């Protein structure tokens, strides 16, 4: 199997099945090496928490600050917001594609509501700000744990009570908890427009849009022992990297160059047509 065939296989499997069988790695021409992770405080903590009984299994609002979006932070992005990124990393491009396709399927009322929440610098384009949560992770430190949820090693199932917590064991701080949290903020606000909720709905929209993309990246819901694939060393073509980075960036980056002429709008158009069919 050629390298190009492998990339096609991965993309076709994702498109047709919507899932990936975890724990299986195709080695073929690639030099893939599994590097076991040494016992760390994080792994010990996760293992301990996985075995503890839980008494609160219902997702709820995460205990995170309800801060206003910094106008200066968004303002810095104003020059890029209306453009399809052409020289940006896959992380940003991937989320751009997800949100661009999603916006095509919003109802007229939903699209109107989304545009009302977006800052002027976005020019009505949700995709333009879909990577915002990645850009503020080190500014909003509490949000870092909301991008993923990892399970005990080799347990191919996810249990909210067991698995939704951050590295300090604080419950409800994971990607599924965040999706529930920000979905409820938006639903409650629009169900009763007369009520005064202390929610920043623009942030809620941007976080929700981003996290729905994150949760569909297989290694954002990976195993504790390899830190979601971050400690699995692989070679992608001639580059040494880790498995998480391959999924985050390199598979689609390679496909974009090989099959779509590095034209992001083409991949968006093609996948939109496939969904309609």
Q: Single out the catalytic residue among 165, 180, 244, 247.
A: 244
Whether 95 is a known active-site residue: answer yes
Who contacts 249 (Cβ-Cβ below 8 Å, separation ≥6)? 89, 90, 91, 94
Whether 216 is a known active-site residue: answer no
Whether 210 is a known active-site residue: answer yes
The helix/strand/coil state of 263 is coil
Q: Single out the catalytic residue among 214, 226, 236, 247.
A: 214
Element (H, E) at 265: helix 264-276
Asked if residue 34 lies in contact with residue 232, where contact means CB atoms within 8 angstroms, the answer is yes
Q: Single out the catalytic residue among 43, 125, 132, 147.
A: 147
Q: Single out the catalytic residue among 165, 172, 180, 220.
A: 220
Q: Single out the catalytic residue among 90, 132, 236, 247.
A: 90
Whether 90 is a known active-site residue: answer yes
Q: Single out the catalytic residue among 134, 235, 245, 271.
A: 134
Q: What is the C-alpha to C-alpha distance for residues 111 and 148, in angstroms, rounded to an integer?
A: 27
Q: Single out the catalytic residue among 162, 210, 226, 236.
A: 210
Q: Single out the catalytic residue among 42, 77, 92, 137.
A: 137
Q: Which residues are catalytic?
A: 90, 95, 134, 137, 147, 210, 214, 220, 244, 248
């Amino acid at each position: 199997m050629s390298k190009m065939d492998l990339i096609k296989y991965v993309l076709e499997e994702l498109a047709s099945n919507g899932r990936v069988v975890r724990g299986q790695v195709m080695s073929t021409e690639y030099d893939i090496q599994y590097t076991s992770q040494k016992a760390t405080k994080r792994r010990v903590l996760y293992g301990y928490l996985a075995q503890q009984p839980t008494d609160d299994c219902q997702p709820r609002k995460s205990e995170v600050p309800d801060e206003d979006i910094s106008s200066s932070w968004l303002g810095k992005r104003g020059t890029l917001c209306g453009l399809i990124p052409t020289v940006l990393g896959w992380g940003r491009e991937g989320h751009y594609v997800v949100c661009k396709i999603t916006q095509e399927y919003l109802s007229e009322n939903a699209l109107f509501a989304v545009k009302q929440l977006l800052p002027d610098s976005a020019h009505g384009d949700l995709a333009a700000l879909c990577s915002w949560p990645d850009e503020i992770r080190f500014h909003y430190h509490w949000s870092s744990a909301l991008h993923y949820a990892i399970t005990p090693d080799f347990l191919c199932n996810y249990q909210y009570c067991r698995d939704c917590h951050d590295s300090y064991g604080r419950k409800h701080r994971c990607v599924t908890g965040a999706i529930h949290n920000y979905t409820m903020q938006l639903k409650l606000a629009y169900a009763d427009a007369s009520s005064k909720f202390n929610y920043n709905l623009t942030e809620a929209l941007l976080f929700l849009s981003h996290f729905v993309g994150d949760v569909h990246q297989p290694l954002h819901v990976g195993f504790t022992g390899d830190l979601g694939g971050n400690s699995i060393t692989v070679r992608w073509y001639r580059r040494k990297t880790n498995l998480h980075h391959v999924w985050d960036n390199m598979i689609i980056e390679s496909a974009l160059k090989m099959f779509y002429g590095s034209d992001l709008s083409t991949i968006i158009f093609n996948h939109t047509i496939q969904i309609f069919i």
